[in-house]
Chain A
Amino acid sequence: MINTSDTDLSAPATPALVDALYAAGHLDRESHDRAMAALYPPRHWGQWASRLLLAVGMVLVLTGIVFFFAHNWQDIPPLIKLGGIQVLITGFTLAAILLRTDTLPAQMMLLAASVMIGVFLAVFGQIYQTGADAWQLFAGWAGLALIWTLLSRFAPQWAVWLVIANIALVLWWQQNGGIALFIMPGVFAILMVFNLPVLLLFEALQNKPAPWRQKAWIRPVLVTGLTVIAVIPAIDSARSLARPGGGDIGTEGMAGVLLLIALYAWYRWARPSVPTLAPVLLGLMLIVISAVSSLLTRMLGFSIEFLNMAILAVLVIGLFVLGIRHLADLRTRSGDQGGQRS
């Protein structure tokens, strides 16, 4: 026997449940159709399909334009090239103003204008051979596109802007501090220093709610990105424990661990959000597993590999069971229903 308080029968039904009850003969056709119409009005399909066509259509048009200019056609005079791109930037911006900036088509137009700024800078560099480094192109792009991004009030545009800005930082660090591609000591610290204030700003702005900033995906995406940036150097530091004498843990790795602990504390007590805690907890668990694995390798070596692996298997199962139970408990306590439908 199961009490309904455990199963929450007052929660909304799903199309799958309606179909299942109908297929099992517990609902008649009329009730099935009525329930489905309420759950899934036909109008939703129209909205969904139109948004899909708008998004894919814009991506295709922009890709075509980018590839056209990327080829650097010699037959087209430079002024026509640059003028053409400027006309497109102006056209997309004017269209956004005419369509009202708080509508989806207008926001797509502003996003298109932002992309065209990058194309303009690339073509400018091609024509005048400015000798600018790649990071300068991305930094200039991020700087100029910020105007359109601020105007857009559109979370995906901010996501694109963040990607461009992060690429600029990585390229800058690669040129100034990198040993080789992907071997860049300190790059994760720089990325943490840049991305943490973005998250803090987002949280500060939650006190002034705006519909475009209230999307459920924004916080987990920002925190997941920051977690990845923090976990990589922390795992690298944890692996150094395997070296005789303990190796150098490094400030970058320590900063990563501290950041994750701070994120956990913040989303656990200050601004409780269970879905946001999940990536942070996963990051912390991976660091612990790496550290224990390294310590075991140092202490036991590969001579008793069986014992080494057995301890790690038990540790992984124990950690993940505790982690999942902890999140489930928090969810039950807070009544958090976020991310329930997968």
Chain B
Amino acid sequence: MSRSTPPTIADLLPDRDDDILHPGAGVDRLVLDHIRHSREPAYQKILLGVGAALAAFFTGAMIAALMSLIGLTSEFGLVVVGAVLLTLALITDQQVQAIDTAKPGTVHRLLAQVLYLTGAACLATGLAMLADQFWMIPLALVFLYALTLFLFRNQVRAAVCLTLTLVTLPLIYHSLVNGLVPATWAPLINNAYLSLLVATTAFLVHRSRSHAHLTLELRAMVTALSLLIRNPFIRVTDILGPFDQYWIGGAIALGTIALLHLVSREFPSRRYEVLAAGSIGAIALAALGAPGVLLALGILALGYHRADRFITGLGAVQIPVFLFLYYYDLQATLIQKSGLLVLGGLVLLAGYGWISYRMRGQSS
């Protein structure tokens, strides 16, 4: 394997005398898992996710109609139905894992996701109805997610992502913003949730490269963090005190510096130069009160570092959103705001010139 030629999968495998993969062997299983999860085209994953979400909607409506038809309208009944559906999802998921092929069955995969989504919705709604508290739905979903993380394997990850990011977080925000959560609980839930997300994301950044099946969890966590820091539709930070905002800025700056530490290993000759410049930038953005912009840049770098187009795209989309929000919230006159934007742009363009100059120097 030469330095300049990208290695193939076969190049990485230990010396072998056949062209057969044995799923029972550790290294072959690992390679097979990677092939399964990294070789599937993005459009196929999107179709699977859209299909699962639509089918889960109709299945949920069907269950509600059936329960109403047979007169089983108790909350406990909903919890039981949810638990049964989740068990079925688990069985289907295990069957998918048992199929030793590079292309696991589409029917099983879709069914596992539909059953998980419908079961989770029934169980969480039933529990919330039992407690007579609407805000328990997102909390129940989060706990369900934590409990099932190690039970379910790869095939329901997209469903988990969907549930967590599209359903849970907006419900939590809705509950917090509209005062549905008791006032004494709100800061506790908010900070506990944020801490959990930051810790889990840090863990996943550290571990997910060596575990292909954690990729979707990382994506979900990064998405959740982005939504939590500043949701453009629901003004989350309106319910956070100053302490929370500094905490968020500091945590993201530390996270970005840790990421830079990780990334800078890839080019040892300029490691400290990159670390110093990046750290100054991260601290400056946190101090300027722009944790969202910093987070978006960090996510972008993380996505590039992991060669993950989803995370890179997520970061790229968020940069203009957070820049707009920063501009919108800035306590300054319009002329000052315009000047700041132009000045900030010129600083970045100077950075572009500096890197281009260094790269030209390196190649000449």
Contact = CB atoms under 8 A, between A and B. Distances in A.
Given A40-B266, A42-B267, A1 B351 contact: no
Contacts of B352: 50, 53-54, 57
Nearest to A17: B34
A64 B209 contact: no
A2 interface: yes
A9 B13 contact: yes
Output the residue of A59, A220, A324 with the most chain B CB within 10 A. Answer: A324
A2 B5 contact: no
Given A38-B2, A56-B319, A60-B323, A67 B210 contact: no
A316 B55 contact: yes
A49 B338 contact: no
A197 to B, nearest CB: 25
A327 B44 contact: yes
Contacts of B52: 320
B359 interface: yes
A64 B342 contact: yes
B19 to A, nearest CB: 4
B14 A321 contact: no
Output the residue of A22, A60, A63, A278 with the most chain B CB within 10 A. Answer: A60
Interface in A301-333: 305-306, 308-310, 312-313, 316-317, 319-321, 323-325, 327-328, 331
Contacts of A220: 43
A325 B341 CA distance: 49
Contacts of A338: 41
Contacts of A45: 263, 266-267, 304
Given A1-B21, A323-B47, A13 B349 contact: no
Contacts of A305: 61, 65
Contacts of A59: 320, 323, 345
Interface in A44-87: 45-50, 52-54, 56-65, 67-68, 71, 73
Interface stretch (B87-95, B105-113, B137-145, B165-173): B105-113
Contacts of A331: 41
B241 interface: no
A55 to B, nearest CB: 9
Contacts of A50: 352, 355-356, 359
A19 interface: yes
Interface string A23-40: 110110001001111111
Interface in B1-33: 1-14, 19-23, 26-28, 30-32
B310 interface: yes
B235 interface: no
B7 A12 contact: yes
Contacts of B338: 64-65, 67-68, 71
B114 interface: yes
B348 A42 contact: no
B219 to A, nearest CB: 10
A313 B40 CA distance: 25
A16 B209 contact: yes
A29 to B, nearest CB: 12
A35 B46 contact: no
A337 B234 CA distance: 40
A341 B38 CA distance: 6
A16 B55 contact: no
A43 interface: yes
A57 B40 contact: no
A122 to B, nearest CB: 15
A282 interface: yes
A38 B46 CA distance: 31
B266 A21 contact: no
Contacts of B147: none
B38 A12 contact: no
Contacts of A39: 6-7
A47 B349 CA distance: 14
Contacts of B304: 45, 48
A328 B355 contact: no
A7 B35 contact: yes
B69 interface: yes
A68 B346 CA distance: 16
Contact of A37 (B3, B26, B38, B308): B3
Contact of A19 (B45, B62, B209, B349): B209
A310 to B, nearest CB: 5
Contacts of B359: 43, 46-47, 50
Interface stretch (B96-104, B124-132, B196-204, B251-259): B96-104
A26 B13 CA distance: 8
Nearest to A336: B41
Contacts of B47: 278, 281-282, 320, 323-324, 327
Nearest to B23: A2
Contacts of A65: 338, 342
B339 interface: yes
A324 B6 contact: no
Given A26-B14, A52-B300, A61-B349, A17 B38 contact: yes
B327 to A, nearest CB: 8
B6 A18 contact: no
B215 A16 contact: yes
A60 B349 CA distance: 10
Contacts of B211: 20
A340 B40 contact: yes
A176 interface: no
Given A9-B9, A38-B4, A53-B351, A20 B30 contact: yes
B334 to A, nearest CB: 5
Contacts of B8: 9-13
Contacts of B46: 278
B7 A13 contact: yes
A220 B334 CA distance: 40
Interface in B41-58: 41-48, 50-52, 54-55, 58
A339 interface: yes
Which 10 residue pairs spanning A and B have beta carbons closest together?
Answer: A320-B51, A60-B345, A64-B341, A57-B348, A23-B210, A61-B345, A42-B267, A309-B62, A278-B43, A64-B342
Given A17-B9, A45-B267, A313-B55, 6 more contacts: A4-B19, A21-B12, A38-B5, A60-B323, A313-B59, A321-B110
11 contacts: A13-B7, A14-B38, A16-B38, A20-B211, A60-B342, A63-B341, A64-B340, A68-B342, A321-B51, A324-B51, A342-B40
